[in-house]
């Protein structure tokens, strides 16, 4: 375990252990980027969590029944619902890089906001689930 | 204002005021359904909120830069993140009705879960936003 | 410490220790009710938390610069935002008992929903705080 | 659709389309302020969402069964529960402008905090709803 | 992909594919239980998410620098904060099985509630981080 | 009531009333620190809430069936789940001061993230509680 403090401490590639470098190298190769972003540098303070999180993310975000842009928009919707500023910033950028236009982004924002509104109303009114939705 | 208690009290069409019936009629016509679901019956205890919420929802969920199935999946993602059981049930049904397959649903669940995981990590590590995401 | 399992186990007055009975008696006297509601019976499995929570609640909800009905409506707003079904049910009843009408309840629901909507938009757009609000 | 990036991009009046200016003008006239705050400038990147959100907000926050100050305090309570920093800042200012005193603010904070505490306890204990609250 | 509807549909061992059975077998062997609980049966409708989630959980919850009971209590704290009723129920049982006493549970509840309270106060007051905590 | 604005206004010891100083003195003595942190200075704008919150916190965080480091880790877990940046920063520091190592912190992060992930899955799948967990 490195001496670096966890939390706000970020591990740069030059200072990383071989174990961490291997993950960073895979992120860079998979994404075609020259450096990993801050999230991964921060997570590198706990190498097992870094490795596991990256393996899961790589698998989950790969093209499948849903295309990568749709997956990024879903990721952004959840991040906005959670109020995570870092996540909103990074996944807005990622969704745009995968093709999200201004118009798509605007509609995505409208859906997120509308869902938040009706979520609260349904909770506040304690609406019973309709038989056909069971 | 009707005498019905707000919360758990639901207004059926037969008991509704003309103002509420007009909204119910528009929901049924727009969606091609024989009756509105419980959410609208519960919301009918406050007619101005019923009317405004339906007008907004109708506008937000209409086809646009995003197709209706994608909008429903985004709605479902936010509802699951909020833990709203009624909303999860109704929007899972709506997304399926608009074409979401088992495989798409499975991947949507995986993205929601993965986003929740990295949202927490980014918050717990207080990761600073990268300059390129500003 | 009683043998009762914490969680879903609820302590009735007849089975309560003198320490728990003293709190139950004070709740009943303060509120003028014949029995405490389930929340307190559930909390009674950990007497120090029962006593401390009741003392705090009694102090916070007493009339002050804000009247009791307004305090109950604020309590309900937070509970709906948190999606706590028990809390929504009990504080809706409490707010009504303190004078909240159907019309007030309807407007309260509208404000909760509207706030949830703009909360999400502000987070998703990462709006910087205006200088005049600092 | 303007070229401005959605998210952190804010539209000033001088750069706004006639459609956006009309909304800004209505906000300024309704509130009697010389300029709109950042939330509206950020939302202006998607004009339909800007227009719809403002129309809803104007309707919801108008005087009714609840007075404007109480509505602002409810808005603030939900925003604090959601942890939205922009919303807390702007609605604290708005509530003060409508008459919220230091003493009222202090009691509002106490209710928000107390509600958060008992919300968690009720969830963690999975308290069943009392028959009289159904 | 099985025909079973995702959501409320649960896959029993007798109906499971070899891929799903392999995960169920590993869960049963690792935990020494005769059957998996409902969470895994529900997740089995999307086998890749089932497999990945179990592999991650098994790794994360294994004994390490923190003992299994402490890990379960942390899991329960997060689940209560999220208001997930299924999660609260299952992790309360798991924590008890690993040694959590009534007194420990009571103190855990008190910490969860206290944290929720001060979380809200810090957000509502927008407290700036002290230099020594950066 | 002091004239200081609540929210971002912080009361320093030199400017505090005798009532507030008494609380600050008790915090400093109990914790063996030369000054209170920003949370308490911010809370001091409403003395009754300051006094009540400190009394509760002192009682809840005292050694009991759970040791102080475990309590701080639980506090941190809830704060990260709530996304409260101030709380994450201060309780990370507090947990470290009470003995949390880098390895423990890393595992705590992994449990928080894993719990967030399965919380969402259980909510999104609406998993019914197993009979043995009731």
Residue F79, domain CATH: 1.20.1290.10
**Lowest mean pLDDT across C1-10, D85-94, D112-121, F125-134:** C1-10
Is B49 within 8 Å of C106 when comparing Cβ atoms?
yes
Average pLDDT over residues B41-51: 97
Average pLDDT over residues D104-127: 97
- DSSP-derived 3-state class of residue F56: helix
Which residues of chain F make contact with E53, given a CB cutoff of 8 A? 117-118, 121
**What is the pLDDT confidence band of residue C64, given thresholds at 50, 70 and 90?**
very high
Average pLDDT over residues D105-119: 98
Interface of C with F (CB under 8 A): 8, 48, 52, 56, 59-60, 134
D118 and D80 share one domain: yes
pLDDT at A3: 40
| DSSP 8-state assignment for residue E126 | T
F103 and F38 share one domain: no
Average pLDDT over residues F68-91: 97
> Is E133 a domain residue?
no
Whole-angstrom CA distances from A134 to E89, E130, F55 are: 21, 50, 47
Query: pLDDT of chain A along its 134 residues, tens only?
Result: 334 445 568 999 999 999 999 999 999 999 999 999 999 999 999 999 999 999 999 999 999 999 999 999 999 999 999 999 999 999 999 999 999 999 999 999 999 999 999 999 999 999 999 999 98
A80 and A121 share one domain: yes
Give the count of domains, chain D: 2
Residue ending a domain, among A22, A40, A60, is: A60
Residue ending a domain, among F62, F83, F109, is: F62
DSSP of B36-62: --HHHHHHTTSHHHHHHHHHHHHHHTS
E93 and E119 share one domain: yes
The Cα of D32 is separated from the nearest Cα of chain A by a number of Å equal to 27
Is E102 within 8 Å of C53 when comparing Cβ atoms?
no
F50 and F70 share one domain: no
pLDDT at B65: 98
Asked whether the beta carbons of A81 and C120 are under 8 A apart, the reply is yes
C74 and C46 share one domain: no
pLDDT at A118: 98
Asked whether the beta carbons of F40 and F67 are under 8 A apart, the reply is no
State yes or no: pLDDT of E5 exceeds 70.
Answer: no
Q: Which of E3, E5, E7 to mutate to test the interface with B (most CBs of B within 10 A)?
A: E7
Which residues of chain C make contact with A125, given a CB cutoff of 8 A? 109
pLDDT at E3: 40
* Touching subunits for chain C (3+ Cβ pairs under 8 A): A, B, D, E, F
d(CA D31, CA D79): 21
pLDDT at E66: 98
> Is E134 a domain residue?
no
**Lowest mean pLDDT across A86-90, C39-43, F2-6, F97-101:** F2-6
Which residues of chain A make contact with F105, given a CB cutoff of 8 A? 6-7, 46
Structure tokens at C119: 């909360």
Among chain F residues, the shortest Cα distance to A6 is held by F102
**What is the pLDDT confidence band of residue B134, given thresholds at 50, 70 and 90?**
confident
**What is the pLDDT confidence band of residue B8, given thresholds at 50, 70 and 90?**
low
DSSP of C2-23: -SSPSSS----GGG--HHHHHH
Measured in degrees and rounded to the nearest 5, phi and psi for residue E98 equal -95, 10
State yes or no: pLDDT of C96 exceeds 60.
Answer: yes
Average pLDDT over residues C78-86: 96
**What is the pLDDT confidence band of residue E6, given thresholds at 50, 70 and 90?**
low
Cα-Cα-Cα-Cα dihedral sign, residues A26, A27, A33, A37:
negative
pLDDT averaged over every residue in chain B: 94
pLDDT at B9: 83
Residue ending a domain, among F62, F91, F107, is: F62
F56 and F118 share one domain: no
The Cα of A41 is separated from the nearest Cα of chain B by a number of Å equal to 9
Residues 6+ away with beta carbon under 8 Å from A111 = A77, B60, B61, B66, B71, B74, B75, B78
Structure tokens at B110: 């995986």
Per-residue pLDDT reduced to its tens digit, F86-96: 999 999 999 99
Asked whether the beta carbons of D24 and D54 are under 8 A apart, the reply is no
Asked whether the beta carbons of A65 and B107 are under 8 A apart, the reply is yes
- State pTM to two decimals: 0.94
C56 and C95 share one domain: no
d(CA C16, CA C25): 11
Average pLDDT over residues B39-46: 97
Per-residue pLDDT reduced to its tens digit, B103-128: 999 999 999 999 999 999 999 999 99
Which residues of chain B make contact with A39, given a CB cutoff of 8 A? 118, 121-122, 125, 127
A7 and A31 share one domain: yes
| DSSP 8-state assignment for residue B99 | T
How crowded is residue A101: how many other Cβ atoms within 10 Å of its Cβ?
A: 14
Q: Kind and range of the H or E element at E84?
A: none
Phi-psi region of F73 (alpha: psi -120 to 50; beta: other; left: phi over 0): alpha
- Cα-based angle F40, F42, F46 (whole degrees, multiple of 5): 90
- Domain that residue B92 falls in: 63-134
pLDDT at F4: 44
E85 and E121 share one domain: yes
**What is the pLDDT confidence band of residue C9, given thresholds at 50, 70 and 90?**
confident
Per-residue pLDDT reduced to its tens digit, B75-98: 999 999 999 999 999 999 999 999
A49 and A93 share one domain: no
> Is E131 a domain residue?
no
State yes or no: pLDDT of D7 exceeds 60.
Answer: no
pLDDT at C44: 97
pLDDT at A2: 39
d(CA A80, CA C119): 9
- In terms of DSSP H, where are the helices of chain A? 18-31, 38-43, 47-60, 68-82, 85-97, 102-125
Per-residue pLDDT reduced to its tens digit, B51-62: 999 999 999 999
Is A6 within 8 Å of F110 when comparing Cβ atoms?
no
* Touching subunits for chain F (3+ Cβ pairs under 8 A): A, B, C, D, E
C81 and C128 share one domain: yes
């Amino acid at each position: 375990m490195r001496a670096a403090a966890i939390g706000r401490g970020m591990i740069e590639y030059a200072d990383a252990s071989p174990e961490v470098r291997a993950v960073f190298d895979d992120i860079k190769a998979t994404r075609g980027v020259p450096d990993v972003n801050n999230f991964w540098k921060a997570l590198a303070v706990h190498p097992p969590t870094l490795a596991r999180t990256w393996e899961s993310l790589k698998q989950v975000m790969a093209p499948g029944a849903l295309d990568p842009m749709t997956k990024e928009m879903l990721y952004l919707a959840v991040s906005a619902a959670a109020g995570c500023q870092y996540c909103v910033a990074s996944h807005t950028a990622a969704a745009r890089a995968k093709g999200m236009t201004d118009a798509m982004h605007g509609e995505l924002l409208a859906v997120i906001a509308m869902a938040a509104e009706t979520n609260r109303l349904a909770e506040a009114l304690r609406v019973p689930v309709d038989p056909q939705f069971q």
